[in-house]
Amino acid sequence: MASIVKRGRSWRAMIVRKGQRVNATFDTRQEAEEWALQAEAAIIAGQKVATVVPVRVGQTIADLLQRYSREVSVSKRGARWEHLRIGTLCREPTFCLPVHEFGPEALAGWRDQRLKVVAASTVNRDLNLISAVITHAIKEWRAPIAANPVHLIQRPRNPRARKRRVSMDERRAIAAALGWDMASEPGTRMQWTAFAFFVALETAMRKGEVLSLRWQDVDLERRVAHLSITKNGDERDVPLSSEAVALFRLLTRGEGSRRIVRVESGTLDQFFRRARDKAGLPDLHFHDSRREAATQFSKKLSNVLELSAVTGHRSLNILRDYYRPDPTDLAKKLG
């Protein structure tokens, strides 16, 4: 007997029979019931049960996006971002087209309209997600799409990479705006926001990496912080400078599984934006700390491979965007 339950906006069918347990997810209860009947018959006949549901004729691109959100996005670190982005795309008329009618012309039209509202970098992030969904649908769901339309249109040119550095005076201004004296253990969420920014400046860690650190991840004797998962899905050991070690030594060491920085991501974002505005630095981003750290590290490390090992960049082209040396320093090296 099949068990069919509703989960969010989808229906999940599960069968346990003759020692086998199989399940699949569907958009409607009727589809779940039909699959369950076929699956039970296949088990009784000793045949293999198909748990991958192919894309049906008449389904829209929005259907593919929503399915991807349910089945694929949920396993990613950026699941919340993808859910929100997919929700926005599904409200666009372009993505309500049936799969067989969706092509490069429709996508190019959406691109041009979208560029009137948001920056080119935002459109490219949307296109990256759309491309990932369609590629997955073709490979895993047997979607009747001959070629990925994203590959058949011209992408907008991204703006120039940011060059923003963070000076010592600006560090002090942010700390003051957040009420942290830079010499004692943070006690409020505002002060923890400042502490996180300073850690990022001394390690080149991303915001999420700093916030994910637990005491069991940090070995101050070996001067290493272990990141079990990063943005690109890899583990990474981050060497700690003497300045970074000094920051962690300000803190009272807690239990191994306890998070070190005690502020949530959304709260940190809110406090940091208020602090930068109060300090008169409206163009400063938290992520600029990564560029500043990478540039400072480049002065101490002998080659770019060592630098990429510290920052975790897979692509040297992307790493180049984070390396922003002072021309005066380069001139001194030339002699």
What averages of pLDDT result for each successive group of 10 residues across the chain (335 residues)?
76 77 76 78 72 72 93 82 94 94 96 95 95 93 90 91 91 98 97 98 93 94 88 80 96 90 95 97 95 88 78 72 68 68
Closest CA to 322 of 300, 297, 303: 297
Separation of CA 12 from chain center: 27
CA distance 114 to 317: 27
Model pLDDT, residue 268: 97
Q: What is the pLDDT of residues 247-280, one digit of tens each?
A: 999 999 988 889 999 999 999 999 999 999 999 9
Burial of 120 (0-12, 13-18, 19+ CB in 10 A): middle
pLDDT at residue number 310: 80
- CA torsion 114→120→125→130, rounded to 10°? 40
Distances (CA, A) of 210 to 26, 150, 232, 258: 38, 34, 15, 13
Phi, psi of 330, rounded to the nearest 5 degrees: -65, -40
Tokens of 239: 């060497």
Axis crossing angle, helix 120-140 with helix 79-90, rounded to the nearest 10: 90
CA pair distance 90, 88, nearest whole angstrom: 6
Looking at residue 20, its pLDDT comes to 73
Cβ 296 vs Cβ 203: under 8 Å: no
Query: Could you tell me where the beta strands, DSSP code E, fall in the chain?
Result: 2-7, 10-17, 20-26, 218-219, 224-227, 236-239
Query: How many CB atoms are located within 10 Å of the residue 333 CB?
Result: 8
Query: How many Cα atoms occupy the beta-carbon half-sphere of 132 within 13 Å?
Result: 15
Q: What is the pLDDT of residue 1?
A: 62
Determine the topology of domain 61-152 in CATH.
DNA polymerase; domain 1 (1.10.150)
Give the contacts of 181 (CB within 8 A, at least 6 positions apart).
175
Q: Which two tokens stand for residue 214?
A: 């637990």
- Give bridge partners of residue 26 from the DSSP assignment: 11
Residue of 82, 85, 89, 99 whose CA lies nearest to 142: 99
From residue 48, alpha-carbon distances to 2, 24, 40, 42, 43 in Å are 17, 14, 10, 6, 7
pLDDT at 102: 94
- Predicted pLDDT at 192: 98
Spatial neighbors of 221 by CB under 8 A, at least 6 apart, are none
Residues with a catalytic annotation lie at 206, 231, 313, 322
Q: Which CATH number fits domain 168-334: 1.10.443.10, 3.30.450.20, 1.20.1260.10, 1.10.3720.10?
A: 1.10.443.10
| β-pair type (20-26, 10-17) | antiparallel
Structure tokens at 295: 């540039």
Query: Which residues lie below 8 Å from residue 334, measured CB to CB, with a gap of 6+?
Result: none
pLDDT digits (tens, 9 = 90+) for 9-50: 677 788 887 777 777 777 778 877 877 787 777 777 777 665
Write down the domain spans for the chain. 2-44, 61-152, 168-334
